[in-house]
Amino acid sequence: MSKISELTDGGSLLPTDFLIAVRSGGNVKVQADDITVDQVNLGDNEFVRLGNSQDLTIVHDASNSIINQAGTGDLLIQKAGTTKASFTTNGLEFPDSSKATFGAGSDLQIYHDGTNSYIDDTATGHLFIRSNGDGIYLRSNTNEEIAHFNVNGSVKAYYDNSLKFETTATGIAISGTLSTSTAGTSNLRLGVNAGDAITSGGNYNVLVGDEAGTAMTVGDESVAVGFEALMTVTSGSENVGIGYRALKLTTGNSNVAVGKNALATNSSASNNTAVGTNALTANTTGTANSAMGQTTLTTNTTGSYNSAFGRDSLGLNTTGSNNVAVGESALYSNTTASNNTAVGKSALVLNTTGTQNTALGAFALDANTTTSDSVAVGYAALSAATIGSNTAVGSESMQFTTTGSNNVGIGLQALRQNTTGTVNTAVGSGALDANTTASYNTGIGRDALGANTTGAANTAVGEGALDANTTASDNVAIGRDALGLTTTGTQNVAVGGNAGDANVSGNYNTLIGYNAGGALDGNFNAFLGRSSGSAVTSGTKNTIIGSYNGNQEGLDIRTGSNNVVLSDGDGRPFYYGRGSGTHVYSYETGAATAFVSAINSTNTSSQIFRGANSASSINDVSATQFVVFGTGNVQNTNNSYGAISDQKLKENIIDAGSQWDDIKAIRVRKYSLIADSETTANRLGVIAQELEDGGMSGLVEEHMDLGPNDEDLGTTTKGVKYSVLYMKAIKALQEAMDRIETLEAKVAALES
Average pLDDT, 10 consecutive residues per value, the chain (752 residues): 44 50 49 56 86 86 88 84 84 87 88 91 86 89 92 92 92 76 79 85 86 86 87 83 79 83 83 88 88 90 91 90 92 90 90 88 87 86 82 88 87 88 90 90 91 92 92 94 93 95 94 95 95 94 95 90 91 80 63 63 68 63 74 77 87 92 93 88 93 92 82 90 90 94 93 88
Which residue among 266, 287, 305 closes a domain? 305
**113 CB neighbour count, 10 Å cutoff:** 11
Query: Which pLDDT belongs to residue 7?
Result: 45
Contact 503, 492 (CB under 8 A): yes
- Residue 157: give the domain boundaries: 135-139+143-174
Rounded CA-CA distance 190/583 in Å is: 105
Domain presence at residue 407 = no
Query: Which pLDDT belongs to residue 2?
Result: 40
Strands 155-159 and 145-150: antiparallel
Task: Give yes or no: residues 164 and 220 share one domain.
Answer: no
Beta bridge partners of 65: 60
Domain presence at residue 682 = yes
Task: Give yes or no: residues 250 and 158 share one domain.
Answer: no
Contact 332, 312 (CB under 8 A): yes
DSSP for 532-571, written as a single string: TTTT--S--S-EEESS--SEETTEE-TT--S-EEEE-TTS
Expressed in angstroms, the distance from the first to the final Cα of the chain is 239
Task: Give yes or no: residues 665 and 613 share one domain.
Answer: no
Task: Give yes or no: residues 665 and 601 share one domain.
Answer: no
CA dist list (Å): 419 to 397, 422, 616: 12, 9, 65
Rounded CA-CA distance 579/474 in Å is: 29
Name the CA radius of gyration of the chain, rounded. 62
Query: Which pLDDT belongs to residue 488?
Result: 92
Tell me 284's DSSP state.
S
Domain presence at residue 489 = no
- Whole-prediction pTM: 0.55
Domain presence at residue 628 = yes
Query: Which pLDDT belongs to residue 626?
Result: 81
Burial class of residue 80, CB neighbours in 10 A (0-12, 13-18, 19+): exposed
Rounded CA-CA distance 31/10 in Å is: 9
Which residue among 636, 670, 704 closes a domain? 636
- Reported as type and span, the H/E element at residue 745 is helix 722-751
Task: Give yes or no: residues 210 and 279 share one domain.
Answer: yes
Strand order, beta sheet including 108-112: 100-102, 108-112, 117-121
Contact 319, 303 (CB under 8 A): yes
Task: Give yes or no: residues 289 and 199 share one domain.
Answer: yes
Domain presence at residue 649 = no
Which residues are CB-neighbours of 273 under 8 A, at least 6 positions away?
Answer: 255, 256, 257, 289, 290, 291, 292
Query: Which pLDDT belongs to residue 18?
Result: 47
Domain presence at residue 618 = yes
Identify residue 62 by its one-letter amino acid code. Answer: A
Tell me 443's DSSP state.
E
Which residue among 288, 305, 322 closes a domain? 305
Query: Which pLDDT belongs to residue 22?
Result: 47
Task: Give yes or no: residues 163 and 227 share one domain.
Answer: no
Going by C-alpha positions, the residue among 357, 351, 317 that lies closest to residue 336 is 317
Rounded CA-CA distance 450/464 in Å is: 8
Task: Give yes or no: residues 200 and 301 share one domain.
Answer: yes
Task: Give yes or no: residues 162 and 226 share one domain.
Answer: no
Rounded CA-CA distance 518/141 in Å is: 109
Query: Which pLDDT belongs to residue 598?
Result: 57
Q: How many domains does the chain have?
A: 4
Beta bridge partners of 148: 137, 156
CA dist list (Å): 403 to 377, 418, 430, 453: 18, 9, 21, 16
Domain presence at residue 300 = yes
Domain presence at residue 518 = no
Task: Give yes or no: residues 150 and 252 share one domain.
Answer: no
Query: Which pLDDT belongs to residue 5?
Result: 43
Query: Which pLDDT belongs to residue 345?
Result: 92
Tell me 153's DSSP state.
S
The dihedral through the CA atoms of 132, 135, 136, 140 has a sign that is negative
Task: Give yes or no: residues 213 and 256 share one domain.
Answer: yes
**H helices within 705-721, ranges in order?**
none
Task: Give yes or no: residues 214 and 148 share one domain.
Answer: no
Nearest 5 degrees, angle CA 193-CA 198-CA 202? Answer: 140
CA dist list (Å): 65 to 61, 93, 455: 7, 21, 118
